[in-house]
């Protein structure tokens, strides 16, 4: 019999964990909305991300576990884990979590909430209703609001339109923060073909970003973790398209996208006169070509897995445009709040100053985050399922890839969104407890002395739930 490696044991634990976690939500419809494929692609390719560094460097780990639906089939179909598992006694949780919450790495007053995702019952709380700075765990709220407003199948367009004589064309940004050079090249192919069919000569190029309003810069100012928030950008405004994580960005994402597009058109035989300029599409412009983003479900999963700030801000503005709010920071905050209120979530003290969590003005409670996780597993809200499937898997994917050793009790069983600002560290997600019970948790800490100590303490809390 071949020797079984440690990482293979961890992968086996991950398979079981994903299967049991999926059982609690599978009854609502298709559970696998692309995350299994996305996890594999992102783990192998390490595609670019706008997220901050929520983990710490570590040796490469194995590819993530296989698709949970396949495991569910082997187990004989979906099950509700909470209904079959022994009760998780709140007193036991208090005994396990209390001392861990007292770790110096968590600062003076960490808050916590643990719920049974199958029943919604709160099993543990410490300051659970106190509004805290959530950092990137606020992306869970951004994701839920966008999915609620637009639906998981929504795709974001990037369009080219022309004047009647096709002497001027306009590249119209639809707010797709995932637009890359490959998709922009496809748009150039389609545009060049349409212009040839119209026997067009030289064209002027205009770029239209009017979908969004307000300041381009995030209130934190120029920052390598996020580009200026524009309705038109390519490669998230990165000066080096091959870069990942924090990276230098252009101050004019729309202008850069238009310049790249003009070069692509000329390579395809289209003469572009002058330099691209900002403007608005003509009222009676004729559609020439269009490309669409991946479905919103896939975009949400990518955003949560990698903690992508650019995508998060675009999703907040997509929510604003879908609900009739102004597509600026304030309007996006109102739109997100409105969608979460429609989902009947506890919003006392909540504030959404941005979609990414980079703002310290964001405030939510641990009880809010666990309620949102529970709502995302509710059979009445299958549109929210990507909120759960997009969470990084401990020790395997995204911002948790390097935070759990293969021997950790939480490896493969914890799925959680990380949050990191200077002095602020948070973790919110799901974990399969002994017996298969699926729990939702949120741990929020402020005034933390160091990122490493805080992350270690948070990971021990989540791993304790897995025990």
Partnered with residue 207 across adjacent β-strands are 171, 278
CA dihedral (88, 89, 95, 101) positive or negative: positive
Cβ neighbours around 467 below 10 Å, total: 11
Element of type H or E holding 424: strand 424-432
Query: What secondary structure letter does DSSP report for 121?
Result: -
Q: Is 268 exposed, middle or buried (0-12, 13-18, 19+ CB in 10 A)?
A: middle
In sequence order, the 6+-apart residues with CB closer than 8 A to the CB of 291 are 157, 158, 179, 183, 184, 186, 187, 190
C-alpha angle 204-157-343 in degrees, rounded to nearest 5: 145
Residue 139 to residue 68: CA distance in whole angstroms: 24
Residue 154 near residue 327, CB atoms below 8 Å: no
DSSP string of 143-191? HHHHHHHH-TT---EEEEEE-TTSSEEEEE----TT--HHHHHHHHHHH
> Which residue has 């961890």 as its token pair?
10
136, 148, 230, 359: which one is catalytic?
A: 136
Q: What are phi and psi of 206, to 5 degrees?
A: -115, 145
Q: Which of 33, 139, 411, 463 is catalytic?
A: 139
Active site includes 307?
A: yes
- Per the annotation, the verdict on 167 as an active-site residue is no
Among 33, 293, 307, 356, the one annotated catalytic:
307
Yes or no: say if 397 and 42 are a contact pair by the CB < 8 Å rule: yes
Tokens coding 402? 């390097």
408 catalytic per annotation: no
Distance separating alpha carbons of residues 374 and 83, to the nearest angstrom? 15
Q: Which residues are catalytic?
A: 136, 139, 307
């Amino acid at each position: 019999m071949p020797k079984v490696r440690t990482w293979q044991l961890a992968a086996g634990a991950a398979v079981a964990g994903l299967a049991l976690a999926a059982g609690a939500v599978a009854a609502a419809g298709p559970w696998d909305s692309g995350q299994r494929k996305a996890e594999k692609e992102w783990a192998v390719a390490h595609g670019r991300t706008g997220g901050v560094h929520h983990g710490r460097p570590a040796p490469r780990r194995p590819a993530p576990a296989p698709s949970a639906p396949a495991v569910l089939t082997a187990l004989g179909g979906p099950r509700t884990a909470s209904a079959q598992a022994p009760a998780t006694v709140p007193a036991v949780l208090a005994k396990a979590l209390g001392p861990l919450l007292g770790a110096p790495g968590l600062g003076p007053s960490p808050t916590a909430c643990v719920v049974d995702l199958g029943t919604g019952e709160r099993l543990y709380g410490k300051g659970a209703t106190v509004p805290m700075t959530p950092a990137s765990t606020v992306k869970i709220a951004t994701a839920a609001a966008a999915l609620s407003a637009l639906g998981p199948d929504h795709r974001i367009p990037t369009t080219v339109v022309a004047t009647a004589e096709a002497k001027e064309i306009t590249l119209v940004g639809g707010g797709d923060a995932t637009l890359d050079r490959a998709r922009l090249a496809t748009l150039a192919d389609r545009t060049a073909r349409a212009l040839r069919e119209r026997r067009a000569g030289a064209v002027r190029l205009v770029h239209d970003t009017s979908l969004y309003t307000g300041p381009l810069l995030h209130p934190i100012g120029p920052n390598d973790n996020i580009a200026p928030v524009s309705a038109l950008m390519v490669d998230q405004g990165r000066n080096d398209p091959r870069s990942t994580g924090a990276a230098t960005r252009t101050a004019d994402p729309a202008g850069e996208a238009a310049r790249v597009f003009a070069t692509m058109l000329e390579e395809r035989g289209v003469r572009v006169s002058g330099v691209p300029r900002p403007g608005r599409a003509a009222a009676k412009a004729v559609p020439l070509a269009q490309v669409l983003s991946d479905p919103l479900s896939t975009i949400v999963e990518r955003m949560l897995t990698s903690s992508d700030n650019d995508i998060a801000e675009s999703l907040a503005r997509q929510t604003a445009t879908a609900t009739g709010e102004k597509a600026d920071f304030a309007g996006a905050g109102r739109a997100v709040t409105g969608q979460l209120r429609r989902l009947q979530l506890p919003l006392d003290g909540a504030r959404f100053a941005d979609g990414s969590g980079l703002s310290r003005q964001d405030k939510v409670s641990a009880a809010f985050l666990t309620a949102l996780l529970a709502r995302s597993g509710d059979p009445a809200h299958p549109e929210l399922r990507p909120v759960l499937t997009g969470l990084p898997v401990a020790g395997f994917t995204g911002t948790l890839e390097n935070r759990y050793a293969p021997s950790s009790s939480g490896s493969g069983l914890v799925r959680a969104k990380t949050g990191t600002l200077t002095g602020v560290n948070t973790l919110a997600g799901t974990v399969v407890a002994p017996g298969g019970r699926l729990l939702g948790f949120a741990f929020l800490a402020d005034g933390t002395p160091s990122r490493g100590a805080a992350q270690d303490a948070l990971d021990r809390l989540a791993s304790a739930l897995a025990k």
